[in-house]
Amino acid sequence: MNETTIDRQALADLLARFGDSLDSFDALRPDAYEKVLAAQPSGLEFLESFYSLLFDPALTLAQAAEKCPTWPLGSKRERRRPSPNILSQVGERMRTRAALARISPVGKFLTELRKELKATPLGDNQTVLDGLCGAVGAKLLADARAGTALDLKAMATLQNQRVLEQNEQRLAQNDKKLANDGRRLALLEAREAKTKEVVNNTTLSPEEKQQRIREILGTE
């Protein structure tokens, strides 16, 4: 395919509308249906038609395939419609790409959160550290998968809640004194569950979260 005939910026804009990117498109095989379409005169119009049909919720894959542009002349499937299997593969690739784009900020945020917490006394307790990062990560990932805007700024306030770190450390120290392993495990699980509920409660301000967590940990 002669990519010099393609308006790269226009292609990038088109792909972005459907949750894809130039990198993903460029990685396709030269004989892939999308690349073959794009190489034709009015290729971007063909691509837009194809993607619109593919993601039309009113159409099944078979119905969409029957309306898609045919393979161009000179291709190995010339004048034939793309199969529903091709549409399924393209749709899965683009949905996966869009999902990764939504969740990528979560990984970066959790990496920074873990680094900062490691530098505090809380970082010495791997179980507590994993639990806290896991709770925050689960909330962010759920928001990302649901298409909800990621409120990383609000989550970042957790990094500044030194009282939470101190209380968690105190909890770990106090729990070591419990002689009964069963009581210790039950207490840990109950406090962890209540703490996660507070962390995930979007109706509470950071100050209210701190107050609730102090009450849960018995430090008030």
Summarize pLDDT for 189-206 with one digit per residue, the tens: 777 788 788 788 888 887
Question: What pLDDT was estimated at residue 185?
Answer: 67
User: Are 110 and 168 within one domain?
Assistant: yes
Confidence at residue 159, expressed as pLDDT on a 0 to 100 scale: 47
Residues in CB range of 26: below 8 A, 6 or more apart: none
Domain identity same for 78 and 107:
no
- Indicate whether 111 and 177 sit together in one domain: yes
Q: In this predicted structure, what is the pLDDT of residue 157?
A: 55
Claim to verify: residue 109 and residue 78 sit in the same structural domain: no
Burial group, residue 78, by CB count within 10 angstroms (0-12, 13-18, 19+): exposed
Looking at residue 160, what DSSP letter applies?
A: G
Splitting the chain (220 residues) into consecutive groups of 10 residues, what average pLDDT does each group show? Answer: 68 91 90 92 93 95 95 89 94 82 65 65 56 62 59 52 54 59 69 80 80 71
Q: What is the DSSP letter of 6?
A: S
Question: Does residue 96 form part of some domain?
Answer: no
Non-local (6+) Cβ contacts of 40 within 8 A are: 46, 72
Q: How many domains does the chain have?
A: 2
- Asked if the structure places residue 90 within a domain, the reply is no
DSSP string, 90-133: HHHHHHHHHHHHHHHHHHHHHHHHHHHHHTSGGGG-HHHHHHHH
Could you read off the pLDDT of 140-152 as tens digits, one per residue?
Answer: 666 655 655 555 5
- Domain of residue 13 covers 3-82
Q: Report DSSP state, residue 16.
A: H
pLDDT for position 118: 65
Instruction: Say if residue 129 is in the same domain as residue 32.
Output: no
Q: Is residue 95 a part of any domain in this protein?
A: no
